[in-house]
Structure 1
Amino acid sequence: MKKWFVWIPALLWMGLIFFLSHQPGNDSGALSGGITKTIIDAIQYIVPKVEVPLETLHFIIRKGAHFFSYFVLAILYFFALNKMKKLSYNGLVAFLMATIYAITDEFHQYFIPGRVAAVTDVMIDSLGALCGIISYMLALKVVKYFIKR
């Protein structure tokens, strides 16, 4: 098997991020708004008398999507880099790759109607990438520990 195949999941994930970023503001808002409504309905089904602040939850879901997207992207980068060649600085390279993609993603959004480029989103994306890499490294250590036992 060719080693470059390990990059396919990362490329597909990047494509998904690009697709979602390319949606006009109204479409993007409708998608996250629908997710927010579904979550509120589920919460109110479980706890009928609870009041869930719509705008706060919508904000958390939108920013959580940024965090999660780059959490996954950084793991996919890190995995591919490790399959190509295990180097001690692959985590740093994966983090930088994810951060650079986040910057280009925000730049891309600047040109989409109803969307804006936000430095805070790049920071959230980068934090997601960092947490993804740390989680992946910890998972590798745990697996290695149990394999050696």
Structure 2
Amino acid sequence: MKSRTRKILKWFLVVIFMLFIFYMSSREGDKSTGDSSAVINLIKLYLGIDLDMISNGNASFIVRKTAHATEYLILFLLVYMAVKEYENVERKILLSLIITICYSISDEVHQYFVPGREMRIFDVMIDSIGASIGAILLKIKDRLKKIHL
């Protein structure tokens, strides 16, 4: 695949994933709560984990915040793969973190206008933790690569 086509494809994946996050954030509060309940039921059914010992509100909270962190971990990794103008790993990581966290902030502002949803700084922090986990994993990978060379 040509280099230009590859670059376009990588940024296309970033945009598609951002649109997915936007779509999920556009869902009204009741629908979003229903999604969390469905995930809890799937965990009970397929993983055999008894979430009944956790009150339903806490289980929903854990599912929602884990989803936030996971979404932004994935977004960070996609942005990192798309950012190729820097050879320096630290610069790519920093630029990817900035883009991901800025998108998280814009997503929370967007949720302010969605019925039944709220803008929460706490969610930006959870999203940033997800992106930071991605950054830490990439830094570890880079160090291991240098050790084995």
* TM-score bin (small chain): 0.7 to 0.9
Per-residue deviation at 1:85?
3.3
The answer as to whether partners of 1:22 and 1:112 remain within 8 angstroms in 2 is: yes
**CA shift in 2, pair 1:8/1:143, >3 Å:** farther
Per-residue deviation at 1:92?
0.9
Distance 1:34 1:131 in 2: 26
Distance 1:37 1:6 in 2: 34
The answer as to whether partners of 2:43 and 2:49 remain within 8 angstroms in 1 is: no
Structure-2 residue corresponding to 1:16: 20
Task: Report the TM-score when normalising by structure 2.
Answer: 0.85
The answer as to whether partners of 1:74 and 1:94 remain within 8 angstroms in 2 is: yes
Per-residue deviation at 1:93?
1.0
**Equivalent pairs, count:** 143
Root mean square deviation of aligned Cα: 2.0
Task: Report the TM-score when normalising by structure 1.
Answer: 0.85
Distance 1:112 1:95 in 2: 26
Distance 2:20 2:71 in 1: 9
Structure-1 residue corresponding to 2:118: 116
Distance 1:25 1:8 in 2: 29
Structure-2 residue corresponding to 1:95: 97
Per-residue deviation at 1:94?
0.7
Tell me which amino acid in the other structure corresponds to 1:73. Answer: L
SS at match of 1:85: coil
Partner deviation per Cα, 1:7-57 (whole Å, 9 max, x = no partner): 1221111111011001111111111111012213446x466xx73432211
Residue 36 of structure 1 pairs with residue 40 of structure 2: yes
**CA shift in 2, pair 1:52/1:40, >3 Å:** farther
User: Larger deviation: 132-141 or 9-18?
Assistant: 132-141
Distance 1:52 1:5 in 2: 42
Residue 134 of structure 1 pairs with residue 136 of structure 2: yes
SS at match of 2:109: helix
The answer as to whether partners of 1:40 and 1:52 remain within 8 angstroms in 2 is: no
**CA shift in 2, pair 1:61/1:37, >3 Å:** same
Partner deviation per Cα, 1:75-118 (whole Å, 9 max, x = no partner): 1111111x343234111111111110000000000000110000
Unaligned runs of 5+ in 2: none
Distance 2:143 2:113 in 1: 42
Percent of counterpart pairs with the same letter? 31
